[in-house]
Chain A
């Protein structure tokens, strides 16, 4: 049983029941709106009024909070501090630290940039927590995405945990044979080859076997395929998608008027 390497949490919620394409449109429209919105507080509003409620709607609020804490806050926090300190200052200077200043202008810029990144990554996290990659790929394939692309993504997500397990086996095996992975600089560089070598060549040899295997299963056939599972696409989905597109166009358009 190969473990899947994904963020996906299996739960029943309104977000889970949405069609995968709808969720993708959601992600991209959030990103475009956050990055082209004319108001510097817009991304923050988006977070409070849209993203956090959506995490509750998807019943994944705990996992979302955990992912945010682990992945997002360090990056965004670092960005915010650095930008406040180093961005060219405009407006009133609020604080002077040694040779660095924080001004109203740079704070505003830092806040805008940080909240934009927050929206972007959060939107993806929401997508990934509520959508199984196989379902996503399957839906995109039915809509016309080439089967080879879907194969590559799904296959990679399966190969990764296998390779990691192999890598840690190899690391253990080599260490038990005396490989030094903690010594000085030169030691560590020399340790790279006996660790990576067997892993890389072993996997590459498998490539030929896999290629023969999938060719034997009609991988390159262009005949239309019948699908085992159904992925529903409801009128609600279509309404949501179109509303998001309209909202995005309006936001981008508002830049031209202002």
Chain B
């Protein structure tokens, strides 16, 4: 019973109404980014928003439904990727519960964890369904790695590991920026508003720390990557 109660806690009417709006935010911002020809996706902002405000289960649901809606309305190629979006929401939610969504640099760390999760979850899908080559530009990196003799899993995972951190950390920071812009009264209507009690601190300081941490994490992951690839 406790487990189900924990799930139920995430969902009140505000959550149910927020989820469609969050999905719409995912889609529209994802498409604005394409219009501006920026080299990121930014299609999980809504998912992370819901995860922080309403909890991991609501976040996971938002991610899943976001993929399904994208498949229903825009491109059915998106359907098989729903576990990735699910875990993006799930991990963000738990990071927020653990207090990692309260200032800029903590949010950057959350973004990093999400990036790793996204890379890990999307690899098996890419390998088993698509044989490792999906329709995005990063496939060329995968192809190159395959040609130099790496196993399929290694090649796909390495590609994802390169691409995800920038996108997911930026997404997390943007979701946090949105939360900062909302009034406390509004946030208090959501089930897990305690996750986003913003810690005060000089804004510039924190942004600088966030940037430094993001860069450090990316450098660490690149080093780890080259070690794995040997």
Contact = CB atoms under 8 A, between A and B. Distances in A.
To the question of whether A and B form a pair in one complex, the answer is yes
A96 interface: no
B75 A200 contact: no
B25 A200 contact: yes
B50 to A, nearest CB: 11
Main secondary structure of the interface of A (DSSP, over half): helix
Nearest to A8: B72
Interface string B117-149: 000000000000111011100010001001100
B216 interface: no
Nearest to A124: B76
A75 B35 CA distance: 21
B139 A117 contact: no
Interface stretch (B10-18, B81-89, B91-99, B206-214): B10-18
B189 to A, nearest CB: 7
A117 B130 contact: yes
B131 A215 contact: no
B186 A199 contact: no
A120 B80 contact: yes
Contacts of A35: 129
A192 interface: yes
A128 B32 contact: no
Interface string B55-83: 00000010001001101110111011000
A125 B189 CA distance: 39
Contacts of B131: 79, 83, 87, 109-110, 113
A152 to B, nearest CB: 5
Nearest to B27: A160
Contacts of B18: 204, 207
A164 to B, nearest CB: 6
A157 B16 contact: no
B162 interface: no
B13 A196 contact: no
A99 interface: yes
A6 interface: yes
Interface string A195-229: 11101110111111011001100011000000000
B20 A155 contact: yes
B16 A151 contact: yes
Contacts of B65: 149, 152-153, 156
B68 A148 contact: no
Contacts of B32: 167, 171, 192, 195-196
Given A200-B178, A206-B21, A148 B35 contact: no
B182 interface: yes
B133 A157 contact: no
A163 B28 contact: yes
A104 to B, nearest CB: 16
Given A152-B20, A208-B186, A86 B146 contact: yes
24 contacts: A7-B73, A79-B133, A87-B131, A113-B130, A113-B131, A117-B77, A121-B79, A124-B79, A128-B72, A148-B16, A149-B65, A152-B20, A152-B23, A155-B17, A156-B24, A160-B69, A181-B36, A188-B36, A199-B28, A201-B181, A201-B182, A203-B25, A207-B18, A210-B17
Interface of A: 5-7, 35, 71-72, 74-75, 78-79, 82-83, 85-88, 99-100, 109-110, 113, 116-117, 120-121, 124-125, 128, 133, 148-149, 151-153, 155-157, 159-160, 163-164, 167, 171, 181, 188-189, 191-192, 195-197, 199-201, 203-208, 210-211, 214-215, 219-220
